[in-house]
Amino acid sequence: MRNLLSDLVVVDLTRALAGPQAAMMLGDLGARVIKVETPAGGDDSRGWGPPFVGEESTYFLSANRNKESVTADLKSAEGKEFLTKLVRRADVLVENFRPGVLDRLGFSNERLHELNPALVILSITGFGHDGPEGGRAGYDQIAQGEGGLMSVTGEVEPTKVGVPIADLLAGMYGAYGALAALHERSVTGKGRVVRTSLLAAVVGVHAFHGTKWTVAGELPERVGNHHAQIAPYGMYRTRDDIVQVAVGSEGQWRTFAPVVGLDATDPRFTTNSQRVAHRDELTAAIEAAFAAESADVWLQRLAAVGIPAGKVRDFQQVYEWEQTRSQGLLIDVDHPALGPIQLPGPPLRFDDNPYAGARETNLPPPRLGEHNATVRAWLEEDV
């Protein structure tokens, strides 16, 4: 197959997670991603652990596949010259500095577009590029709290999501915006600046919680492992484990109720609104029925009548699950220091590739400065 974005060069000036995630997504689609790192230590996440495998941070490995690494001191004349050459050959530049940092280095958006009018610039910040708090440093958990996500997560105390979701979403939105700008460029021939932030990404996924406030004037509350507006839809205890059940329609409720010994016409539970209002009573009744059998027995019973249900798997169980493997969600790469390793792979498949992503060959996360010679030699070639 042909790498979908194989004609594109991406300059990755980012570190930590949101920016690296965006650049990696473009790399997963086949773009050549050149990660520019400081000579002294490189991307901050190279030092984030434990765990480390050898000298390699598993955190860094998670967000930097399908990239090359070069080192340059962008405060030096030599580093500025190197970046200037790189920008002239690039299609996309991704950066997640605080507002104003690139300007002080001599690479404002205006200067970048003087060097390359067709360049798409993706800029990711913590709280936005302007506004009263536009200059704040952004970290995932802080953005989860400031953006309201923690207020609807957990049971008693506000709780962060178990993965750095603000960073990951900002990276996804950033890549999405960059692709839109590249499409526009195919018509106009001109690049543009695309901006997003951790705050914007979190607010962007408020979904029905957001409209509950903006339209109905009701403040969303934490409901733990149950859906805020659908019941029964959540986590229930069986004799030996827990089962997740999603009853998403009235038809499914009429099927589900007799399986657990409930009367579908009970006036407390007849409609979804009534079931949400009487959620505690409904949960207690379901768990009383579930207590008689194991989780596996209940999963079989629910599957037999078409009720969506599932387990809560740990990461070992997820990666050993045949369904995960059948979807190409693990990739094999040959790391220059670690040898053959497996990584969580791109979450996209295309019809002419049985594996995840859009590359013929996935590249391992690079060692610091691993591609200094090859990238610098490429920049000296005639275009």
* Enzyme catalytic residues: 167
Measured CA distances, 320 to 277, 311, 315, 323 (Å): 39, 14, 8, 9
The 8-class DSSP code of residue 226 comes to: B
Cβ atoms of 61 and 343 closer than 8 Å? yes
Measured CA distances, 316 to 319, 321, 324, 330, 340 (Å): 5, 8, 11, 12, 19
The 8-class DSSP code of residue 347 comes to: S
Closest CA to 224 of 242, 197, 203: 242
Other CB atoms within a 10 A radius of the CB of residue 32 amount to 23
Report the SS3 class of residue 16. Answer: coil
Cβ atoms of 68 and 34 closer than 8 Å? yes
Closest CA to 158 of 148, 166, 167, 168: 148
- Cα separation, 202 vs 165, in Å, equals 8
> How does DSSP assign 111-152, residue by residue?
HHHHH-TT-EEEEEESS-SSSTTTT----HHHHHHHTTGGGG
